[in-house]
Structure 1
Amino acid sequence: MNNKINRRRFVLRSIAGSLALPGLPSLMSSALAGNSAIAQSRGAGAGAQRFVAVGNLLGFQLKHFFPEKTGKEFEETTLLKPLAANRNQLTVYRGLDHGLRGGHFAVHTFLSGLLHHESKNRTDGNVTIDQFIADEIGNQTRFPSLTVGSEGGIHGGCQLSWTKSGVRVPPITGPAELFDRLFVADSKQVQARKVKENSLQESILDSIHDEARSLSKRVNSEDKAKLDEYFSSIRDVEKRLKLRQIWSDQPKPQAPFDKPADKNTVEDLPMLYELIALALQTDSTRIATLEIGGSFLPQHLGINKSYHGLSHHGNNDESIGYLVTLEQYQIEQFGKFLTRLAGIPDGEQTLLDSTAVLFGSGMGNANSHTNSDLPIILAGGGYATGEFRKVPSKGPGKVPLCNLFLDIAQKMGVEKDSFGTSTGRFS
């Protein structure tokens, strides 16, 4: 009896550990409770590579988005006109996608290239490029990454960011919460509670680790492989817990303005961009994502329609016109964000020079529910070519979007030779 594995006891322990995983990976955005203090000396993190990804849940009107002419002489389409001032600081891509189908239920693959339910047996699961990078370099700042979005709208909340453990990273849902994370110090009571939580979590991890290590001596090769994966998860949690402990006593930067109030997804967008810019400037994080989701309400742009309903426009000219209006607004705010980064000194260059900024969607054509031919813009951080690049979208020459993501990761200093469904580095 003593030589047999008490599988029920192990499963219960494992569940305890796995329940901790969704909480602890969210240290990447929530449990870390703050941003990297602006080191008192100037130029904290100056020149360090950074990455921001902005995703739209319902895509863009591709006929109004993509130019016809490739190269530097591409024409300014209706949706690219708001980026005229940033033209030389970006690259527009066409023909990139993940080769997937699923409509709205595949949009979550935008930054991973993999459907969540088809990634169970992969070493890195459906990890998204932001978390892939954060796992390697995120320990250099208080926040390994920031995930900003909404928990409202169609098909649940923000699903832009996923860990390699298959856990959705819950978003910071508005400017008020993001401001608190960046600039507001915890009260002494909260600090004391977190110390107790850290101690308890450390104790639980020690117990789980000891039991798993003991079990590893008595299992077959198949179970040994499962335990190895489990050990990897434990190490990830331990790393994040250690990071939280390191930053718990470090001061946060001083707030440059009063705490903003949450309004709505449309009116909050400029402030969210501003706070992300400040997070990068203060070296609080070097990785951030922002999802513009189904809770984006056209009513706040004077359009008395639902965003989701409009996306199924059936080629109705009036509906397409409304969509172009709200998409122009989104792209205009993105352009202002680029201009803001370009105006912030970062050592001998600008913050935009140091930051690769991705803008696009996991939806190509929402009207037909396609996830192909995705709208992709990359700005700053080594992608300021001023070009429109069109790559083969079919056949043997097709280039996966993950190739571009791998290029971003390697420019960030991640020494890996593959990501998601990549077939090589984008060139």
Structure 2
Amino acid sequence: MFDRRSILQAFGGTLTLPMLESTASAASPASATTPTRLLIVANPFGAHPEHFFPTEFGTDFQFPKTLSSLEWLRDRISILSHTDHNMKSGHGREIAFLSGVLPETSAAFPEKNMSIDQIVARHTGTHTRFASVNACLERSIRLSWNANGVDIKPFTDAQRMYDHLFLNLTAQQRQQRRQLLQQNRSVLDAVREQFSGVRKRASKNDQVRLDLYANALRDLEQNLVDRQQWVDRDKPKFDLSGYFTGSDITIDNRYNAVFDMVAYAFQTDLTRVATIGFSPELSYTDVNGVTRGYHACTHNGKKEDTVAELVAIESFQISQLSRCLKKLDEIPEPGADGSMLDHTVVLFGSGMGYGGTHSNRNLPVLVAGGGFKHCGHVDTRDAGGDNMPLCNLFLTLLQRFGLEYDQFNQSSGSFDFATAKA
């Protein structure tokens, strides 16, 4: 019998063995000529609802203060009111934003609490140098989760993110990387040998599970082949120096650097999936009018001056997103109509509705770009007045990448952008 622990350690926890009754995946879509990308931007404390959600539904609405920097995207944006994961309110539930599932209840779901960015990355990552890129300056908000229920640690420093994406390996490092890949292939060969013996002794039901595992082994083998091809290929060049000239290092230029590196990684096809988080520990005192901490501003007691600071923080977050989307919109999509933004699914939101009350209902969610027929501001409640499961939207986003899902975790259906209905 093979050693389950040693296999998991050898591949960094990326390979999950099936649980077999006798011992008490899905295929990647064909690569399209024009890639579809996914950008997710999130914060930990939601948004002040009166300044995030428009007062009118439909396409003829007035952009509220927090979203004012996105007005240029009016025809390519959908703002979804009344969505959530039907969870009790309070801190700690925001980690389920991109899955709708908390770690402690994840065993009941086929994808566990794997976040949608990692599901997409699993299917697009073989075409790019990096399956995904994750950033959250300062402490993480635990946004991305892998197939084993482990949260993915993002880059919390712009320089380290630059080194990962754009700094080439030395000759010695390339040789070490080749040796590591060869070692992993040797382990995989050993697993395959032991695997064939296990299958012969397995029950009928376990043989079905092992067949699925065999597919995972083949996918992993292909992944190792794909990683090998990048060892001797130089990365694209990116100049980081201009973001940190002079004596001031502000939240503005730090996030400018992060968003621009992601945009360039998309442009050069280093990756097709990225998440960017705004940490609960970030200091926003560089933002005009902000004197308090981010978390302190959420507990504002409806005091006008404190609410104004919170809205300034949230407006800054959206303006950073808007700046990135303008960059993507200025880049023509190679070999296709439209811009890179038209081929990039952009999701902004939070797993908390509003930090002032610790509400996890009516999450602030918007989608931009991605080639959808957008619907403006949408009330997603059903005829009975119940909020739409946010997983309905996630199901539609996954299907946009050619993934053949009929249901995703808590979904009750899919969200139709054309009709603005679930």
TM-score category of the 2 structures, normalised to the smaller one:
0.7 to 0.9
In 1: Cα distance, 2:65 partner to 2:235 partner: 42
Residue identity in the other structure for 2:276: L
Q: 1:377 to 1:234 in 2, by over 3 A?
A: same
Deviations 1:195-240 (A, max 9, x none): 1111222222333343344334445678767766765665554443
Answering whether residue 78 of structure 2 is matched by residue 91 of structure 1, we say yes
Q: Is the CA contact (8 Å cut-off) linking 1:90 and 1:386 kept in structure 2?
A: yes
Residue identity in the other structure for 2:285: Q
Instruction: Give the CA deviation at 1:101.
Output: 2.6
In 1: Cα distance, 2:195 partner to 2:179 partner: 24
Computed over aligned residues only, the root mean square deviation of the Cα atoms, in angstroms, reads: 2.9
Instruction: Give the CA deviation at 1:383.
Output: 3.7
Q: 1:320 to 1:193 in 2, by over 3 A?
A: same
Q: 1:339 to 1:373 in 2, by over 3 A?
A: same
In 2: Cα distance, 1:318 partner to 1:102 partner: 26
Residue identity in the other structure for 1:344: I
Spell out the pairing of 1:23-102 with structure 2 (5 A cutoff): 24=14, 47-101=34-88
Deviations 1:353-383 (A, max 9, x none): 1111111111101122222111111111124
Moved over 6 A (4+): 221-226
Q: Is the CA contact (8 Å cut-off) linking 1:119 and 1:126 kept in structure 2?
A: yes
Q: Is the CA contact (8 Å cut-off) linking 2:84 and 2:387 kept in structure 1?
A: no
In 2: Cα distance, 1:305 partner to 1:205 partner: 53
Tell which deviates more after alignment, 390-399 or 141-150: 390-399
Q: What residue number does 1:311 align with?
A: 298
Q: What residue number does 1:274 align with?
A: 260
Q: What residue number does 1:250 align with?
A: 233
Match of 2:378 among 389, 397, 403: 389
Spell out the pairing of 1:101-116 with structure 2 (5 A cutoff): 101=88, 103-116=90-103
In 2: Cα distance, 1:394 partner to 1:148 partner: 39
Q: Please list every run of 5 or more consecutive structure 2 residues that lacks an aligned counterpart in the other structure.
A: 16-31, 417-422
Answering whether residue 326 of structure 2 is matched by residue 326 of structure 1, we say no
Q: Is the CA contact (8 Å cut-off) linking 2:240 and 2:257 kept in structure 1?
A: no
Spell out the pairing of 1:21-420 with structure 2 (5 A cutoff): 21-22=11-12, 24=14, 47-101=34-88, 103-150=90-137, 152-153=138-139, 157-218=140-201, 234-235=217-218, 237-255=220-238, 258=241, 263=249, 267-301=253-287, 303-347=290-334, 348-383=337-372, 385=374, 387-392=376-381, 395=384, 398-420=387-409
Deviations 1:269-328 (A, max 9, x none): 111111111111111111111111213212333634322232233333332221111111
Instruction: Give the CA deviation at 1:144.
Output: 1.9
Residue identity in the other structure for 2:161: L
Tell which deviates more after alignment, 363-372 or 169-178: 169-178
- Normalised TM-score (structure 1): 0.83
Q: What residue number does 1:19 align with?
A: 9
Is the partner of 1:104 in helix, strand or coil? Answer: coil
In 2: Cα distance, 1:158 partner to 1:239 partner: 32
Residue identity in the other structure for 1:176: Q
Q: May I ask how many residue pairs the two structures share in their alignment?
A: 395
Q: Please list every run of 5 or more consecutive structure 1 residues that lacks an aligned counterpart in the other structure.
A: 26-44
Q: Is the CA contact (8 Å cut-off) linking 2:244 and 2:253 kept in structure 1?
A: no
Q: 1:315 to 1:20 in 2, by over 3 A?
A: farther
Residue identity in the other structure for 1:402: C
Instruction: Give the CA deviation at 1:143.
Output: 1.6
Residue identity in the other structure for 2:273: I
